[in-house]
Structure 1
Amino acid sequence: MDFIDEIALRGLRVFGRHGVYDHERRDGQDFVVDVVLYVSTAAAAESDDVADTVHYGEVAEQVAAIVGGEPVNLIETLAQRIADAVLARDGVRMVAVTVHKPNAPIDREFSDVSVTIRRSRPDAWPTPPEQEISA
């Protein structure tokens, strides 16, 4: 039997220099990232061995390196870079990435701005069998 389970990392706060404005690149700001990995945890649950799962501590460091790394203009681009990196990890079938920009340069009071994307591997899900069409 195949399982689709979730490993969620929420509220990862990382300083970065992303944005379209010069002051955002110069001064930087905190970004908050949520990542949900869609995996099977069955092997890890049976073996009780971290080698049989996706190590969320390693994912956190990988995401932090991307957010703290090369600047991009849009949080959409940042979310895609994170998704691409996480999907390259063994065992990850799909990922949902939310990038929050709580200090976005908006001249109105607001609590948060975020972008959420969902990406999956092309081979992540079984292909349904072709159905015969009867006349």
Structure 2
Amino acid sequence: MAMTDRIELTGLRAHGRHGVYDFERVAGQEFVVDAVLELDLAPAARSDEVSDTVHYGELAERLVAVITGEPVNLIETLADRLITVCLADPRVDAATITVRKPEAPIPHTFTDVAVTMRRAR
């Protein structure tokens, strides 16, 4: 049976110090994260109990802790760490993380730069 249920948390913003350059580590910048969790939401729909689903407020706290935590060079590495957080709940069958770095040090006009990863069990 194909899994079509999703929890989506989009536009989660937090200040991090990730980047290759020293000035990125010193000043930091805003990172914007989208998380999509694929899981069976039928148990929660039946019980109407938050304990039967992934609590998106708690998920946001865990993701922000990674964004504001130990600096990494690459947003690919950051995305991988965020995916690990999402898949820590055994009910999550797959997760997709997009990490956006709108203030990336690119000497040209641009709107956004992003990395997206999807991992399934």
User: Do they fold alike, i.e. is TM over 0.5?
Assistant: yes
Decide whether the 8 Å contact of 1:3 with 1:41 is kept in 2.
no
Match in the other structure for 1:111: 111
1:50 alignment counterpart: 50
Q: How does 1:74-93 map to 2 (within 5 A)?
A: 74-93=74-93
Change (3 A) 1:113 1:64: same
Alignment of structure 1 residues 1-135 onto 2, 5 Å = 3-121=3-121
Partner of 1:133: none
Alpha-carbon offset, residue 88 of structure 1: 1.1
* Alpha-carbon separation, structure 1, partners of 2:4 and 2:44: 13
For 1:117 and 1:30, how far apart are their aligned partners in 2?
A: 19
Q: TM-score, normalised by structure 2?
A: 0.97
CA distance in 2 between partners of 1:44 and 1:112 (Å): 36
Q: Provide structure 1 residue ranges, at least 5 long, that are not aligned to the other structure.
A: 122-135
TM-score (norm 1): 0.87
What is the CA distance between 1:90 and its match in structure 2?
Answer: 2.8
Larger CA Rg, structure 1 vs 2? 1
- Secondary structure of the structure 1 residue equivalent to 2:85: helix
Instruction: Quote the sequence identity (%).
Output: 58
Deviations 1:58-89 (A, max 9, x none): 11000000000000000000000000111011
After TM superposition, the runs of 4+ consecutive aligned structure 1 residues lying more than 2 A away are 1-4
| Matched positions, count | 121
Q: Write the distance in 1 (CA, Å) between the matches of 2:120 and 2:88.
A: 10
Q: Which has the higher contact order (CA 8 A, sep 6+)?
A: 2
8 A Cα contact 2:3 2:38, kept in partner? no
